[in-house]
Amino acid sequence: MKAFALFTLVLAFFSSSIGYAKDGHVTEFDPTFTHVVYFWFKNPESAADRAQFETSIKKFMKDSKYAKTRFVGVAPKATRDVVDDSFTYSLILSFESAEAQENYQAEEAHVRFVEECKTLWSKVIVYDSTPLK
């Protein structure tokens, strides 16, 4: 339940936020299809694991042909019971369509990122969502 509450807060923030395209230009958040991923690392205190992940995910976000808005973050220390701070990293991407998100799953940049980092995490949870009509 805490993860859902966190997801809802993050989605509300991003639905009124701006993001940055891979060329560095500001773009508006596209809520058509949102892909939120939480990663729990096997060794969250490992500086080497974090460096490997951060290098790989930054390259992936720069090279993705389909993700419009790109955000990667870490959990701040929770100060309220409804906030889940147990994850190591979060990734929030938006896409112009469900088809674009499907294409992203198979694109080289995404596949390379998963291959480079899949041994680092013990758990991954994905929340996909589309806007209310």
What is the domain partition of the chain in residue ranges? 2-129
Structural fold of domain 2-129: Alpha-Beta Plaits (3.30.70)
Cα–Cα dist 40/96, whole Å: 28
Q: Are the C-beta atoms of residues 14 and 71 closer than 8 Å to each other?
A: yes
Residue 124 has pLDDT above 60, yes or no: yes
Residue 5 has pLDDT above 70, yes or no: no
User: For 18-75, what is each residue's pLDDT tens digit?
Assistant: 344 444 443 567 789 999 999 999 999 999 999 999 999 999 999 999 999 899 999 9
Cα–Cα dist 25/23, whole Å: 6
Helix (H) or strand (E) holding 122: strand 121-129
Helix (H) or strand (E) holding 52: helix 47-63
pTM for this entry: 0.78
- What pLDDT does residue 59 have? 95
The residue-averaged pLDDT of 118-130 equals: 97
- What pLDDT does residue 31 have? 83
Strands 33-41 and 18-20, sheet pairing = unpaired
- Confidence class for position 10, pLDDT limits 50, 70, 90: very low
**DSSP helix/strand/coil, 7:** helix
User: For 75-121, what is each residue's pLDDT tens digit?
Assistant: 989 899 998 999 999 999 999 999 999 999 999 999 999 999 999 99
